[in-house]
Amino acid sequence: MALAAPHPLVHLATVSLIFTFGAGIVSRNAGRPRLCWLGQTITVVPVSLGMLVYATRIGAQTVTGQFFILEAILLLVVAAMSIESVRHLYQSALEHLTTKHDLGNLARYDPLTGLANRLLVRESFFKQAQTCRIDQQIAIHYLDLDGFKAINDQFGHPVGDRLLVEVATRLGAAVRGDDVVGRLGGDEFVVLQPGVLHADQAELLARRIIRQLSESYRIDDTEMEISASVGISLSPVHGLDLDRLLQCADAALYRSKRKGKAQVHFCEDSPPSGRGRAVA
C-alpha cells in the first residue's frame, strides 16, 4: 500500500492522485449525479477504509496513526462536498432546462385553451409544407364562432373563457393526429389539415367541425348554443405563404358569415369544385 510508505511525498502523491481523479469524475459527470456518486464512492471509500485500518494497526494514538485518520476524514469530507456540488449543479441545470421549456411553451401555446398560437401554427405549417408530397395539399380552415359574442356579453368573460376552452376540446377531438389546431385570438381558430388530395376532404373536415361545435354546451347548469363558420384556402392552390393563405381563408370566412351561420366557403382565387356550399 502506497500510503504505508514512510516518505511523506508518497502520501502527498497518492492523495493528490485521488483528488485529481475525483475532480475528473465530478467534471465529466456533473449532469449524471448517480454516476458521479458511484465513481466517488469507488474511488474514495476503499482508500479511506485502508487508511483507517492502517492507522489501527500502527496505533491510532500515535502521530502517524492520527495523521492517517485525518487524511481519511479529509478524503471523505471532500468527496461528500463534491457530491453535494454535483447535486446542486444538476438541480440548477434541471431548473434552467425546465424554465427554458416552459418559456418555449408560453411562446407557442395559447394560455387559455392550450392550443397552438400564431407562432406555433406558422412553424407547423412550415414543417407540413416541407414534408407534403407533390400530389398533396394543406387545407387552412379559418373558423369563427357564431353567437359567441352574445353569450360573452350576457354571461361575462369568465363564462366566455370556459366556453372557448370547451370549443378547443371539441376541435381537438374533431381532427386527426397530424392536424394542427390553433387559436388566433378572440373566438377565431385555425386548423391546418395536411395530406389533402381533394377539396372534398377539406370540406368534410369542416362539416365535422361545425357539427361538433354546434352541439349544445352546458356551463353552470346553463345550456348554450353556438355554431361556427369556416373559410378554407388550400396550399399550394391558393399560394405558399401562410399570411396570404390566412387572408384568403379569412375572406372566404367573411363570405360564409354573410350567407348565414354554419357555412363553409373556399377561397375564391382558383376555387376548387364544391366551394360555397352551406353545411346543414
Peptide bond into 236 cis (omega under 30): yes
Q: Domain with 203 in it: what CATH number?
A: 3.30.70.270
Determine the Cα–Cα distance for residues 160 and 187; give it in Å rounded to an integer: 9
Whole-structure pTM value: 0.65
- Boundary (domain end) residue, out of 108, 135, 162: 108
Q: Write phi, then psi, for 266 (nearest 5 degrees).
A: -95, 160
Domain hosting 244: range is 118-266
Determine the Cα–Cα distance for residues 253 and 140; give it in Å rounded to an integer: 11
Do 143 and 58 sit in the same domain of this protein?
Answer: no
Q: What percent of the chain has pLDDT over 90?
A: 52
Structural domains in the chain (count): 2
Do 75 and 122 sit in the same domain of this protein?
Answer: no
What one-letter code names the amino acid at 215? Answer: E
User: What pLDDT does residue 88 have?
Assistant: 72
- Boundary (domain end) residue, out of 80, 108, 136: 108
User: What pLDDT does residue 275 have?
Assistant: 40
Residue 46 belongs to some domain of the structure:
yes
pLDDT band with cut points at 50, 70 and 90 for residue 23: low
- 253 in Cβ contact with 230 (< 8 Å): yes
Question: Distance from CA of residue 89 to its chain's centroid?
Answer: 23
Do 140 and 90 sit in the same domain of this protein?
Answer: no
> Which has the minimum average pLDDT: 64-73, 149-158, 220-229?
64-73
- Beta bridge partners, 182, equal 116, 190
pLDDT band with cut points at 50, 70 and 90 for residue 274: very low
* DSSP symbols for 240-279: S-HHHHHHHHHHHHHHHHHH-SSBEEE-SSSPPTTTT-B-
67-96: average pLDDT? 74
- 77 in Cβ contact with 108 (< 8 Å): no
User: What pLDDT does residue 57 have?
Assistant: 75
Residue 271 belongs to some domain of the structure:
no
User: What pLDDT does residue 69 have?
Assistant: 76
Residue 89 belongs to some domain of the structure:
yes
Do 130 and 79 sit in the same domain of this protein?
Answer: no
- Count the alpha carbons within 13 Å of 49 in the hemisphere toward its beta carbon: 6
208-219: average pLDDT? 95
User: What pLDDT does residue 280 have?
Assistant: 35
Determine the Cα–Cα distance for residues 53 and 59; give it in Å rounded to an integer: 10
163-182: average pLDDT? 96
Q: Match 363558420 to its residue by C-alpha cell.
A: 229
Do 65 and 37 sit in the same domain of this protein?
Answer: yes
Do 194 and 137 sit in the same domain of this protein?
Answer: yes
Do 87 and 136 sit in the same domain of this protein?
Answer: no
151-179: average pLDDT? 95
Do 84 and 161 sit in the same domain of this protein?
Answer: no
What one-letter code names the amino acid at 242? Answer: L
Is residue 218's pLDDT more than 80? yes
Residue 272 belongs to some domain of the structure:
no
Is residue 271's pLDDT more than 60? no
User: What pLDDT does residue 54 have?
Assistant: 67
